[in-house]
Amino acid sequence: MKIKTEQLARTLKANAHPVYWLSGDEPLLLQEAADQVRRYHRDAGFVDREIHTIERNFNWERFRQSTGNLSLFAERKIIELRLQQPKLEDEGKLALADFLETDNSDLVILISSPKLESSVMQTKWFKSIESRSVVVQIWPIDRENLPRWLESRMLQANIHPEPDALQILIDRIEGNLLAAVQEIEKFKLLAGPDTTIKLDAQTVMQVVADHSRYNAYQLVDAALTGDLARTQKILNGLQAEDVYPLVILGAVTRELRTLQPMVEKRENGQPLTAIMQTARIFFNRKQAVRTAISRLSSALIWELLEQARLVDQACKGMSPANPWDELSMLLIRLSGSRVSTAAEHQALSN
């Protein structure tokens, strides 16, 4: 059966299932859901744990041996399958289907994967798996709901942020929920145990550190201002620091969707000053956003969003394209540069 993340705890308590498939592109939420499944089964006596990273040409005979050679005195076990792609090869499909035909209450399979596409979920094979398993679709926290999510997390930790403090923190970590949780833990350590914290903007500015030499939002702002050289420099730095390209792409697409209605207002004759006054933009980003609204068109933004969809496919291994090359070309267009393909490749090497 297919459930939402918030239904997982209730589902775990209600009935035992042989397979749990967690699907999503937000690492923190995926990790927390997996921890929930592990914790419940550990408390139920599943003390052994086996992990397989599923890449192309994985030897599924290892999985079959793990699920088929249990002795009478074997420990109850969780077998984790960590998929690097949002799909299984035919051999994997068959191995999982065969496991579900067995009646072994001493084994639980925990699968984690990138977001499953609807084309996969509509297949006869997947529907058969879903009917006998629990499938959890984990959706990212969007820009609109991020303040509510972050404030809720902070309140659970006895941290009461002022509005400006919350906004600064959002600007620093947006798109990286794991970084948000790390900062919350940092505030807790500074205050000591069992202490209620009143968090103001100045404290956040003093405590919160960038999570890399560069971050995705510096990259976006460089592109918005049309600074191609800085854009490429930051992108190369993020690549060198092994930042997950989907994190960068998420920052770019969120910015494009935010800019689109503001650009439409400008095209419809609304003064730029009025648009900026009504927009909720943190002060240190206003110049970059103002520059972008002045030079971008609605048509170009829609083209960039379509291009971003292709970058997303490259990031998830659904196309042979190099995700970093595709990101670079997307950012070149966002920066307003008009360069040939050869020049784009030259920019990448600088």
CATH code of the domain in which 180 resides: 1.10.8.60
Residue 75: per-residue pLDDT: 79
Residue 273: per-residue pLDDT: 86
Q: Are residues 233 and 176 part of one domain? A: no
| Chosen domain end from 79, 114, 138 | 138
Structure tokens at 155: 């309140």
The per-residue DSSP string of 126-174 comes to: HHHHHHTSEEEEEPPPPTTTHHHHHHHHHHHTTEEE-HHHHHHHHHHHT
- In the structure, what pLDDT confidence band is assigned to residue 69 with cuts at 50, 70 and 90? low
Q: Are residues 156 and 130 part of one domain? A: no
Q: Are residues 178 and 119 part of one domain? A: no
The 10s digit of each residue's pLDDT in 152-191 is 999 998 999 999 889 888 877 756 788 888 888 888 877 7
Give the CA distances from residue 231 to residues 132, 190, 258, 289, 343, in Å, rounded to whole numbers and listed in that order.
48, 35, 20, 15, 15
| Chosen domain end from 112, 138, 164 | 138
Q: Are residues 237 and 181 part of one domain? A: no
Is 20 in a helix, a strand, or coil?
strand
- Whether the pLDDT of residue 211 is over 50: the answer is no
Q: Are residues 235 and 131 part of one domain? A: no
Residue 20: per-residue pLDDT: 97
Cα torsion through 87, 89, 91, 93, rounded to 10 = 20
pTM (global) more than 0.75 = no
Q: Are residues 156 and 134 part of one domain? A: no
Give the total residue count for the chain: 350
Q: How far apart are CA 158 and CA 154, in angstroms?
A: 6
Residue 283: per-residue pLDDT: 61
CB contact at 8 A, 9 and 37: no
Residue 214: per-residue pLDDT: 65
- Whether the pLDDT of residue 269 is over 50: the answer is yes
The 10s digit of each residue's pLDDT in 18-57 is 999 999 988 899 999 999 999 999 999 998 999 999 988 8
Structure tokens at 96: 């999982």
- Whether the pLDDT of residue 132 is over 90: the answer is yes
Residue 141: per-residue pLDDT: 86
Total count of domains within the chain: 3
Domain with 169, as residue range(s), is 146-207
Q: Are residues 151 and 103 part of one domain? A: no
Q: How far apart are CA 246 and CA 26, in angstroms?
A: 9
CATH code of the domain in which 306 resides: 1.20.272.10
The 10s digit of each residue's pLDDT in 303-338 is 999 999 999 999 888 889 999 999 999 999 999 875
Q: Are residues 134 and 7 part of one domain? A: yes
